[in-house]
Amino acid sequence: MTTLIRGGTVVNADRAFRADVLCEGDKVVAVGENLDAPPGATIIDAGGQYVMPGGIDTHTHMQLPFMGTVTADDFFTGTAAGLAGGTTTIMDFVIPDPKQSLLEAYRSWRGWAEKSAGDYTFHVAVTWWDQSVHEEMGVLVRDHGVNSFKHFMAYKNAIMADDETLVKSFRRALELGAIPTVHAENGELVYQLQQELLAKGIRGAEAHPLSRPPEVEAEAANRAIAIANVLGTPVYIVHVSCAESLDAIARARAKGQRVYGEALAGHLVIDDSVYRNPDPAFARAHVMSPPFRSPHHQQALWQGLQGGNLHTTATDHCTFCAEQKAAGKDDFTRIPNGCGGVEERMAVVWDAGVNTGLLTPSEFVRVTSTNAAQIFNIYPRKGVVAVGADADIVVWDPSGTRTISAATQHSKGGFNVFEGRTVRGIPTHTVAAGKVVYERGELRAEPGAGRHIDRPAFTPTAA
C-alpha cells in the first residue's frame, strides 16, 4: 500500500513548505520535493491544497451509556464520521459507574471500540475512590497505555467526583506520570439551581443554561487548578466554555502552573440563543454541558486559542436523536446532555478561525492536532507530517465549500448543531494509517480498521 500525495503545501505546527509526501504501509516514508512515484502507487493530486496532519479530537463519547440511554453514534459510525471530516484519531472516555472496577469498564470500552474505522485511545474517568481505584490506575498506566484520567466535577448523584476523589486521584496521577483532566462545573450548584428552576415551573430547555451559569464553571475550574497547584500536578480542563474559566487558566499559567485548556468547536461558534428557540425540540437538541454561551464568551475562547491559554480543539461528540432528547420534554434535567461535531470540527475551526485571520494555517494544525499529540504523548507518531509518523493526513482544499446539514452528515442522531453553516476550507482526501479512506465525498470507512493507540506516561513534550 503506497500513496504519493503530490504537489501540495505541507503544513505542520512549526512551518509550511512545498513538498510531496510518500506513505508506505501505515507510515510516512518520505517528505520532499519532486518525489518519484513507486510502481503501483496511488497518486493524490494536492495541487493548490494543504497537506496537514490528520485531526485529533481530544474529546468524544461514542456508544456512551449516559443519562438512561446510549449515544446514537457507536465507535464505527462516530469514527467514520470523523474520517469524513479529516479527523483520524479520537480520544474517547471510559466512564466506570461509581463502585465499578476501572479495569472492568476499560475492557468493556475496548470491546465496543473494536469496530472503530479510525484510531482511538481512552481517557479513563475516576468517578469514585478506594484503594482498588488507586491500584487499577497503576495497571491502566503500566499495562494499557492510559496516561490521562478524567474527573467530572458535575453530574451529582451519578458520576461526580467529590474533592476527596479529586485530591487522591490527582496525587496518584502525578505519581504515575499521567495527566488529570476535569469537566469543570460545580455539581452541587448545578443541582440546587436545577431544583429551584423546576420548583418555579421553568422546565424546558431554556432552563438548562440558567442552571449552569459561567460562575458555576469558573468555581470548579479555579478549584481544580488550586488542587493541582497544591499537589504539583499538571491539569487539563476539558470543554472550557466561558471567559471566567479561561481567566483562571491564564492566571495560573502566568504564575508558571502547567494548566491546559480545551475548546469545543461548538462553543466557538454557537451562542446561547439556541435555548430560546420557539421549537422545543431544537432547543433540546442543543442541551450539552457546559451550555452554549453568549458571543462575549465565544470571543474570549478565540483569544484563548490565539494567546496560547487554550491548546486543543475538540467536539465532545455525544449524539442523541430527537426521541432520546424528548425524555426531558417536561423536565430539562432529564434531557440527555450532548451534541455532535466530530465530522465538522476541522472545517468549522478553519472557516471561523483561519478564514477570519484569527489563526494561521500552522496555528490551526497546532490546535487541531499537534498540541493534542504532545500533551497526551503520542507525538511525533501523530500530530505532524514527517518521516516516521503515522500516515494520518488530511488534504485540505482552502477554497472548497460545503453547507453543513444533518441530511448529508455521516454521523447518526439526525441533527446537526452547525446546520446551514457554509464553510470554506474542506478536506478532499483523508488518509488514515496509509489508506485513502475519504475522497471527495466518498467515504471508505472499514469497521475494525482503527487501532487502539497506547499513550506512555511521563509526557516529555507539551505546549
Identity of the amino acid at 162: D
234 binds, among Zn ion, ligand URP, none (CB under 5 to 8 A by kind): none
Phi, psi of 40, rounded to the nearest 5 degrees? 85, 0
- Residue 449: its H or E element: none
For ligand URP, the nearest residue by Cβ is 337
CB of 181 to ligand URP, least distance (A): 11
Question: Bridge-partner residues for 91, per DSSP?
Answer: 121
410 neighbors 72 (Cβ within 8 angstroms) = no
CA angle 106/460/228 to nearest 5° reads 70
Of residues 61 and 311, the one with the C-beta less far from ligand URP: 61
Q: Does 121 bind ligand URP (CB under 6 A)?
A: no
Q: Does 288 bind ligand URP (CB under 6 A)?
A: yes
CB of 373 to Zn ion, least distance (A): 20
Provide the pairing of β-strand 65-66 with 69-70: antiparallel
* Residue carrying the nine cell digits 479520537: 90
**DSSP E strands, 25-64:** 27-32, 42-45, 50-53, 55-60
323 binds, among Zn ion, ligand URP, none (CB under 5 to 8 A by kind): Zn ion
310 neighbors 249 (Cβ within 8 angstroms) = yes
CA angle 120/123/127 to nearest 5° reads 145
CB of 340 to Zn ion, least distance (A): 12
CB of 411 to ligand URP, least distance (A): 15
Of residues 105 and 288, the one with the C-beta less far from ligand URP: 288
Of residues 61 and 455, the one with the C-beta less far from Zn ion: 61
89 neighbors 122 (Cβ within 8 angstroms) = no
CB of 209 to ligand URP, least distance (A): 12
Question: The C-alpha cell of 334 is what?
Answer: 432529564
Provide the pairing of β-strand 50-53 with 393-403: antiparallel
Q: Does 245 bind ligand URP (CB under 6 A)?
A: no
300 binds, among Zn ion, ligand URP, none (CB under 5 to 8 A by kind): none
Of residues 119 and 316, the one with the C-beta less far from Zn ion: 316
Of residues 115 and 123, the one with the C-beta less far from ligand URP: 123
The neighbour count for residue 34, using CB atoms within 10 Å, is 9
193 binds, among ligand URP, Zn ion, none (CB under 5 to 8 A by kind): none
Phi, psi of 233, rounded to the nearest 5 degrees? -100, 150
Contact positions vs Zn ion (CB under 5 A): 183, 316, 321, 323
321 binds, among Zn ion, ligand URP, none (CB under 5 to 8 A by kind): Zn ion
Of residues 13 and 335, the one with the C-beta less far from ligand URP: 335
CB of 221 to Zn ion, least distance (A): 12
CB of 159 to ligand URP, least distance (A): 9
CB of 382 to ligand URP, least distance (A): 22
Q: Does 318 bind ligand URP (CB under 6 A)?
A: yes
Q: Does 316 bind ligand URP (CB under 6 A)?
A: yes
Of residues 234 and 338, the one with the C-beta less far from ligand URP: 338
Kindly tell me which residue out of 60, 63, 289, 319 binds ligand URP, with binding defined by CB under 6 A: 289
252 binds, among ligand URP, Zn ion, none (CB under 5 to 8 A by kind): none
CB of 291 to ligand URP, least distance (A): 9
Q: Distance between CA atoms of 260 and 250, rounded to whole angstroms?
A: 10
63 neighbors 94 (Cβ within 8 angstroms) = no
CB of 156 to ligand URP, least distance (A): 13
3-state secondary structure of 343: coil
Q: Does 183 bind ligand URP (CB under 6 A)?
A: yes
Question: The C-alpha cell of 160 is what?
Answer: 461526580
Q: Does 337 bind ligand URP (CB under 6 A)?
A: yes
Q: Distance between CA atoms of 363 and 353, rounded to whole angstroms?
A: 9
Q: Does 61 bind ligand URP (CB under 6 A)?
A: yes
Under rule CB under 6 A, how many of the chain's residues touch ligand URP?
Answer: 8
Residue partners of 309: CB distance under 8 A and separation at least 6? 246, 249, 250, 253, 261
337 binds, among Zn ion, ligand URP, none (CB under 5 to 8 A by kind): ligand URP
The span from the first CA to the last CA of the chain, in angstroms, equals 34
Of residues 266 and 383, the one with the C-beta less far from ligand URP: 266
CB of 170 to Zn ion, least distance (A): 17
Residue partners of 23: CB distance under 8 A and separation at least 6? 1, 2, 3, 4, 5, 29, 391, 393, 431, 434
443 neighbors 437 (Cβ within 8 angstroms) = yes
List residues near ligand URP by CB under 6 A: 61, 183, 288-289, 316, 318, 337-338
